[in-house]
Amino acid sequence: MSNENGSGRQVALVTGGMRGIGFGICQSLAGMGFDIVTCGRRSSDEVSGVKLELEAHGHEVVYLQADLREDKTLLHLAGTIRDQFGRLDVLINNAGIAPPDRRDVLDATLPGFQEVMSVNCTAPHFLIQHAAPLMIEQRRRSPECTCCIVNITSVSAAVASVDRAEYCISKAALSMASMIWAVRLGEYGIPVYEIRPGITATDMTAGVRSKYDERIAQGLLVQPRWGMPEDVGRAVAALVRGDFSYSSGQIINVDGGLTLKIL
């Protein structure tokens, strides 16, 4: 099955793909030969250098400045993919935010909660609703096409931090959304997975670098190092390649053993 652009290459939509974990995922997928559509809050000029790095793999990279909190953005992303490529093989819901300020749950605010929920949970849930019909249609036309969806949640989906409750709740909710979509899309042969990264070196964790350096040195992790974006990129590659094709709905922890129970 070929692209609207005639290339025949597979197409991946990765939200927040121009930095951090999203960029690690895009590098993996570009290395596997995918055309990439990605988005973020920054302007095209601000991401042009990073985009060039991805384009060096020789495939098409489309960047849209888009705020995922807006419903029209989600429709625009799906519409762009339909018009420009005519196919969607992979959706990676990666974009996410930490709480605007860390506050004890007793002092946390409703606007802060709504902001985090809207980027981390509402947007990925409804992006799947808008993107899944493209995959369903594609698999009807060409049943040999493999498609999959991956939601990037966090160890925080299952580990309570009282100074960023809204983040933990948003990731736990997205974890349930992953399960719901895995069940709903099963009949179409579209697996849905969840990846839970642990403490990963990105801009999101830049402000807590020394705190976690210390905790890692004190034995917080079984594998005593920071997670890197490429650790998640490699896990995504295995899922997209079909190495876990009989495991829809499963959770992959990429956390250096942070969540292992140890006696």
What is the contact surface with ligand NAP in residues (CB under 6 A)? 16, 18-22, 39-42, 66-69, 94-97, 119, 152, 154, 197, 199-200, 202-205
- Specify the residue, 124 or 191, whose C-beta has the smaller distance to ligand NAP: 124
| Cβ at position 152, least distance to ligand NAP in Å | 5
- Specify the residue, 138 or 154, whose C-beta has the smaller distance to ligand NAP: 154
HSE of 232, CA atoms in CB hemisphere, 13 A: 34
| Cβ at position 235, least distance to ligand NAP in Å | 12
| Cβ at position 232, least distance to ligand NAP in Å | 7
Contacts 24+ apart (CB under 8 A), 199-202: 199/226, 199/227, 199/255, 199/256, 199/258, 200/20, 200/21, 200/226, 200/227, 200/228, 200/229, 200/231, 200/232, 201/226, 201/227, 201/228, 201/229, 202/19, 202/20, 202/21, 202/229
- Specify the residue, 73 or 138, whose C-beta has the smaller distance to ligand NAP: 73
Three-state DSSP class for residue 25: helix
Determine how β-strand 35-40 pairs with β-strand 11-15: parallel
**Angle, vertex CA 17, rays to CA 11 and CA 137, nearest 5:** 30
| Cβ at position 246, least distance to ligand NAP in Å | 26
- Specify the residue, 89 or 255, whose C-beta has the smaller distance to ligand NAP: 255
- Specify the residue, 200 or 248, whose C-beta has the smaller distance to ligand NAP: 200
Contact yes or no for 172/157 (Cβ under 8 A): yes
- Specify the residue, 84 or 205, whose C-beta has the smaller distance to ligand NAP: 205
Which tokens in the block code for residue 169?
Answer: 């709740």
C-alpha distances (whole Å) from 222 to each of 26, 53, 58, 228 are 27, 33, 38, 15
| Cβ at position 138, least distance to ligand NAP in Å | 25
| Cβ at position 127, least distance to ligand NAP in Å | 11
Helices (H), 59-122: 71-84, 110-117
